[in-house]
Amino acid sequence: MCVRLLEIIKYLEQIAPKSLAEDYDNVGLIIGRKKKDIKRVMVCLDVTLKVVNEAVEKDVDLIISHHPIIFKGLKRIIEDDVKGRIIYKLIKNDIAVYSAHTNLDVADGGVNEHLAKILGLSDLQNLKKHRVSKLYKVVVFVPEESIDKVRNAMSRAGAGWIGNYSDCSFMTRGTGTFRPLEGTNPYIGSKGKLEYVDEIKLETIVPQEKLHRVIDEMIKSHPYEEVAYDIYPLNMDGKEYGLGKVGVLKNPETLDNFISIVKEKLNAKSVRVIGSIDKKIEKVAVFCGSFDESCNRDVISKADILVTGDVKYHNAVDMAEMGMCVIDAGHFNTERIIVPKLVNILSEQFKNLSVFSNSVEEEPFITY
């Protein structure tokens, strides 16, 4: 059986809401049709020509990548250009591409959290406050016999969370009025007649990143042809999302030993290191991919060492001057770890799909 691409997108955007992406980023469906039927899905870090060739050979319908194939402005798609050749081949073979990038980095269970857990860290906290979710109140009017169905659907979609309490809502009884006109197919009442219906006003709270899904599930579960509902922005902070993570090792290690742990866990042939080899390591900061130097002070105040993927030379000089301890394990090694995790969760969610990792991508740098 096939799965409509739109359904896969909805699930991916539960895992990594697009609202969490950086403003400069390009996430979501980049190539393809939302109504396309999908049977085979390949997951990768980068959409390279090797990856696309493998996708064609394996009759793949959808590629899910971490890094977007189109990142900055694209002016032409021609086979003489490396990027154009890849895009041309994708379109020619009707292969859709969906990317979850910086939104997946910061999401719950995303790349940074997964990196921290792979390295054995516990008591995870955000390295640096990045953004706070906006909260909305959703109010919907429901006939009494359908209230449990609608409320449960909204809760499953992410509504009604206040701190560590779930399924939070408030209900009041009242009377709704409406007059069905020509062209309607009313659940209750007759065309042309003013109806008075006992209804329940259901109120609940929804974070911005889950708002679209909650509304979608609310409408699906509601019996009315036209659902009456209101959305109110609230002057309250929701969940905090951060850049990077900080956690604690089960047992303190020397930098020398911790280097070996990082190389083994991330399958890194080599790493670049700043700091004394005898330094004791207990609190560890992780930051997948390219490190944001605005987090330097946060690392100093919260951790003994930073594990990241890309440190620029001039920032490395500053880090050394500030006495920071750093392991640069490479962009590829700190982010490729999310590929098998995505394969697992998608396979679990969509039993009818064939989901697998590509077998051709590798670290672009060769160490001699």
Cβ-proximal residues to 260 (8 Å cutoff; 6+ apart), any chain: none
232 shares its domain with 148: yes
Identify the domain containing residue 43 by its residue range: 3-101
- Total number of domains in the chain: 3
112 shares its domain with 246: yes
Q: Is residue 348 part of a domain?
A: no
Q: Is residue 116 part of a domain?
A: yes
Our measurement of the distance from residue 15's CA atom to the centroid of its chain's CA atoms, rounded to an integer in Å, reads 5
Our measurement of the distance from residue 76's CA atom to the centroid of its chain's CA atoms, rounded to an integer in Å, reads 29
37 shares its domain with 114: no
Residues 45 and 336: beta-carbon distance below 8 Å? yes
CATH number for the domain that contains residue 51: 3.40.1390.30
Q: How confident is the model at residue 211 (pLDDT cuts 50, 70, 90)?
A: very high
pLDDT exceeds cutoff 90 at 189: no
Domain limit, last residue, from 239, 260, 277: 239
pLDDT of residue 290: 94
Average pLDDT over the chain reads 95
Beta bridge partners of 93: none
Angle at 180 between CA 175 and CA 185, to 5 degrees: 110
216 shares its domain with 141: yes
How far apart (Å, rounded) are the C-alpha atoms in residues 330 and 222?
49
How far apart (Å, rounded) are the C-alpha atoms in residues 124 and 295?
17
Q: Is residue 113 part of a domain?
A: yes
146 shares its domain with 204: yes
* Phi then psi dihedrals of residue 101, to 5 deg: -115, -105
> To the nearest whole percent, how much of the chain has pLDDT over 90?
85
pLDDT exceeds cutoff 90 at 31: yes
Q: How confident is the model at residue 58 (pLDDT cuts 50, 70, 90)?
A: very high
229 shares its domain with 257: no
CA distances from 306 to 20, 195, 258, 283, 336 (A): 23, 65, 11, 9, 18
pLDDT of residue 279: 93
pLDDT exceeds cutoff 90 at 59: yes
pLDDT of residue 186: 84
pLDDT of residue 76: 86
pLDDT exceeds cutoff 90 at 367: no
pLDDT exceeds cutoff 90 at 118: yes
pLDDT of residue 297: 93
How confident is the model over 38-55, as a mean pLDDT?
A: 98
pLDDT of residue 73: 80
Going by C-alpha positions, the residue among 33, 41, 67, 100 that lies closest to residue 344 is: 41
Domain limit, last residue, from 239, 257, 286: 239
323 shares its domain with 284: yes
58 shares its domain with 137: no
Render pLDDT for 128-182 as a digit per residue (tens, 0 to 9). 988 888 999 999 999 999 999 999 999 999 999 998 899 999 999 999 998 989 8
How confident is the model over 65-88, as a mean pLDDT?
A: 91
Q: Is residue 357 part of a domain?
A: no
pLDDT of residue 183: 84
Render pLDDT for 223-248 as a digit per residue (tens, 0 to 9). 999 999 999 999 988 888 999 999 99
